[in-house]
Structure 1
Amino acid sequence: MPLGSFSPFRATRYVSSVDLIDVDALVAAGVRLVLLDRDNTCIPRDTHVAPPAVKAWLDRLRGAGIASCLLSNNFHSTEVAASACELGCPVVDHAMKPAPFSAWVAMARMGVGPEQTVIVGDQVFTDILAGNLAGARTVLVRPQSRRDLWYTQVFRLGEALVLRGVEFEGEASGPTGRSDG
């Protein structure tokens, strides 16, 4: 990517869901740590339970020797801790994304630098911005649920502008448009 085209709001990749991120491609790219947003990235906001496909993907990630850690802005520590336990990974909560500090803390805890880290999330103005500010690669996924907090719904309006013309890997496209699944 030419230097002049960098935008703190652009993800490195766009994939329709976490479980469609190619683990072998992460290994080939030298990734040793995946920092994951919790709400609507790994855990749908309307069910509060990780889908089997996300759990299976995390198992493949671990099997490939890649560490994972939840990086959550959620202030309900008991819910976040329960999700981390369910997913089998450590957590940094109260992350205050888009500030990059929690990402740096997670990387330091795991002994991995930003060049070996990928941050995955469903929000441009928190997850992707935090990842870019932290110097890591970023993957934006579609939210798992349409249910969001009121202020996230406001941010989604701005995201629609930023994401205009972006194609997500794993989505059907063509004359009928994209599939929302």
Structure 2
Amino acid sequence: MIAKFKPTWMVDTVYNISPTQLKEHGIKAVLSDLDNTLIAWNNPNGTPELRKWMADLHQAGIPLIVVSNNSAKRVSKAVRNLNLPFVSRSLKPLSFGITTARKRLGLKKSEVVMVGDQLMTDMLAANTAGVRSILVKPLINTDKWDTQINRFFEKFVMKDLQKKYPNMKWQEDLND
């Protein structure tokens, strides 16, 4: 059961995931959580690093789609300045949102990766959907109240994962 939470990779930040490395792994599209993965949950404007990473993905022909549990109104407002497509009310940890985004792109499971900052939602949803995943560290150390509950339980899940998979470690990038 604990394997359902295991990420394929653990990378410090989304900005370190290079399009070249994604292509080396056969990845043609990135699906990403929104809050504390792409943007700080309390700062929807994003950062210059995010905009550069998005431009690098675009230049490499790798689409980026936000897969969020938030409402369409909330996600639309958050990504308006970033001009990103999205799937709202994705029902993570269920696979619904990931599968919807993948099918929208017409890609196989092996051709997409889900990026997120939570084991309990993002990684579990990716594994349930049968796609690879990248766990990133949250952009900031504060969360909305509902996410704080997940973070509490996540500590125990991470401890069990590291016990079962001792080689599981944070990496600088996908090839570290």
Calculate the TM-score normalised by the size of structure 1: 0.85
Deviation at 1:11, TM superposition (A): 0.2
Identify, as 1 or 2, the structure richer in helix: 2
User: Is 16-25 or 159-168 further displaced after alignment?
Assistant: 159-168
Deviation at 1:84, TM superposition (A): 2.7
List per-residue Cα deviations over 1:100-134 (Å, max 9, x = no partner): 01111111111111110000001101001001111
- For residues 22-171 of structure 1, the aligned pairs below 5 Å read 22-75=18-71, 77-164=72-159, 165=162, 166-170=168-172
Secondary structure of 1:7 counterpart: helix
Secondary structure of 2:42 counterpart: coil
| Percent of pairs with identical residues | 34
In structure 1, list runs of 5 or more residues that go unmatched.
172-181
Q: Give the Cα separation in 2 of the matches to 1:82 and 1:110.
A: 23
Deviation at 1:161, TM superposition (A): 2.2
Contact 2:33 2:68 in 1 (8 A): yes
Deviation at 1:20, TM superposition (A): 0.9
Q: Output the amino acid matched with 2:41.
A: R
Q: Output the amino acid matched with 1:56.
A: K
Higher relative contact order (CA 8 A, sep 6+): 2
Contact 2:27 2:111 in 1 (8 A): yes
- Who is 1:15 aligned against? 11
Q: Output the amino acid matched with 2:171.
A: E
User: Is 93-102 or 41-50 further displaced after alignment?
Assistant: 41-50
Q: Give the Cα separation in 1 of the matches to 2:80 and 2:145.
A: 27
Q: Give the Cα separation in 2 of the matches to 1:63 and 1:88.
A: 15
In structure 2, list runs of 5 or more residues that go unmatched.
163-167
User: Is 84-93 or 65-74 further displaced after alignment?
Assistant: 84-93
Count the aligned residue pairs: 166
Q: Give the Cα separation in 1 of the matches to 2:95 and 2:41.
A: 23
Q: Give the Cα separation in 2 of the matches to 1:88 and 1:149.
A: 24
List per-residue Cα deviations over 1:46-75 (Å, max 9, x = no partner): 322211111111111111111110001012
Q: Give the Cα separation in 2 of the matches to 1:50 and 1:8.
A: 30
